Structure 1
Amino acid sequence: MSELLQQITAASDYIKQFWQDTPVAGIILGSGLGNLAGDITGKVEIAYGDIPYFPESTVEGHSGKLILGYMQNKPVVAMAGRFHYYEGFSMQQVTFPVRVMKALGIQTLFISNAAGGMNAAFEVGDLMIIKDHINLQPEHPLRGRNENTLGPRFPDMSEPYAKSLINSAMKIAGDNNISLHTGVYVGVQGPTFETRAEYKYMHIIGGDAVGMSTVPEVIVAAHAGLQVFAMSVITDIGIREEENVITHEEVLQAAKAAEPKLTLIFRELIQQL
């Protein structure tokens, strides 16, 4: 057994001591979006630092615990806080929780994030379903020897975001009078916010929103054969030059304001699984 497989097994076995059910879905909660965990019932919470080989989140707005329980009577596992390459973690560490959630039994991965808008139609607080992405991260989570038991050497990325879930989310939004965009997410390293020229460049190459997460997790989820649904909360509009001064506090505030709408859509999608 490879070192990676040993680490996945050790982490998942530890978690199973506290919760024996098989989750149907995993949820990754982004910056300022941790309150969705309040909808989970019968929950068990495990600090990241207690789980073998788990990194520990260092970013404000990411609480740093794994939550297991039920949403809409469906067993789920949620990450309240995620890991980023800019924190100094390797891409293997950033994506390790996705491997562990797959080992616990998830079939579907739900991801949320806070992102900067580059589409002139967007406003702060809008929700964008990610329909595709552009990877500008400097490292790749699948670099190195492939572990064939986890997935293929060359995974297909033609549909990393499940169209069926996107269509269901659009219907849920329509039924609840929630305005939704769909768009392309550009994944960058961070931790700096983008310059005006970088925003323009990423919009020119096809991006609608930009952030410092999500893409590595989606790549590993695709490698593992999981279906993925991901949504961004637009927390700033970088394409408008006069509004290009951004702080992390403002990002968290905008994410918190939009969270009830995102929570409703995630909750309804999970009910349909």
Structure 2
Amino acid sequence: MSTDPDPIALAEAAAAELARLTGVAQHDIALTLGSGWGGAADILGETVAEVPAEQVPGFHASGVAGHSGTLRSIRLANGAHALVIGARTHFYEGRGVRAVVHGVRTAAAAGAKIMVLTNGAGGVDPAFGAGEAVLISDHLNLTATSPIEGANFIDLTDLYASRLRDIARGVEPGLQEGVYVQLPGPHYETPAEIHYLRAIGGQIVGMSTALEAIAARAAGMEVLGLSLITNPAAGMGDDPLNHEEVLEAGRAAGPRLADLLSRVVAAL
């Protein structure tokens, strides 16, 4: 029999501790800010509190460059509170799927009804240029796992909520949409794998988001997904792939992404 703590109970404990540390009883919206998107936290509204993630049950310091490793409570202009999760756990870190989706489950336990998931990703579709923000319309989960345990059958038909995507396009009419593919990582894909992903309908590829989105839906939240195209995927460009390229693309696009995301959140 597993001795691991129940994941829902752990999320509830994390939400209770987060409320104690921040002084905010309930958060209305939550955002996980991936590579390139972190600057949005500085302009969303008034920061009420910022907590090192490891002080909250179930969280760990971020193991990936480009992630802040904190949980931040922000009061928006309309008086609502946003929880910004800068401590994303990736599947390839080996902590298990429960750890990957703990932030999402904590956000739900803290009261959030909307989960905004962002990432830096490779462009499989040549229509998406490096530095462009793309709405996630759907996903292909190729991790060979799920955050859902037991006979709990969750409908994913409108996982990346069309209502929220419509709002985002109202704010930024030029936003394109694409199907996101999550692979386990941490290695980048081969050109043959990218050719395969294109053949089965993938347009964006990365190592996060899909598992979190499934957990968010299971927790009853609406999901909005946004990818920063940091580079052409393997075989789609002339240069080899490296993580520094991802970070540099994020730095270059950061102010523009922050502005976009702050305007979208204000409209949700």
TM-score by length of 1: 0.90
State how far apart, in whole Å, the 2-side matches of 1:62 and 1:53 are.
Answer: 17
Q: How far 1:71 sits from its partner (Å)?
A: 2.9
Q: Which residue of 2 aligns with 1:24?
A: 28
Seen in structure 2, the aligned counterparts of structure 1 residues 51 and 242 have a Cα distance that, compared at 3 Å, is closer
Quick one: percent identity of the two aligned structures?
Answer: 34
* 1:12 partner letter: A
* Cα deviation code 1:210-254 (max 9, x no counterpart): 000000110001111110111000011126455241111110111
Alignment correspondent of 2:104 = 98
Letter in 1 for 2:47: G
Are residue 7 (structure 1) and residue 48 (structure 2) matched?
A: no
Gaps of 5+ in 1: 147-152
Change (3 A) 1:69 1:197: same
C-alpha separation in 1, matches of 2:229 and 2:183: 16
- 1:7/1:261 Cα in 2 relative to 1: closer, same or farther (>3 Å)? same
Q: State the Cα distance separating 1:205 from its structure 2 match.
A: 0.4
Tell me, which stretches of 5 or more residues in structure 2 are unaligned?
A: none
Shift >6 Å, 4+ stretches: none
1:141 counterpart residue number: 147
RMSD: 1.7
1:149 aligned partner: none
1:264 maps to: 259
- Equivalent of 1:65, from 60, 63, 70? 70
In the TM superposition, what whole-angstrom CA distance separates every residue of 1:90-119 from its partner, at most 9, and x where no partner exists? Answer: 101110111111111001011110010011
Residue matched to 2:130? 124
Mapped partners of 1:182, 1:219: distance in 2? 19
- Pair 1:201 & 2:201 matched: no
- Taking the TM superposition and a 5 Å limit, the aligned residue runs for 1:149-188 are 153-174=152-173, 179-188=174-183
> How many residues align structurally?
261
TM-score, normalised by the number of residues in structure 2: 0.92
With over 3 angstroms needed to count, the CA separation of the structure-2 counterparts of 1:14 and 1:242, relative to structure 1, is closer
Which residue number corresponds to residue 189 of structure 1?
184
Cα 1:5–1:231 shift into 2, 3 Å: closer
Write the letter of the residue equivalent to 1:41. Answer: E
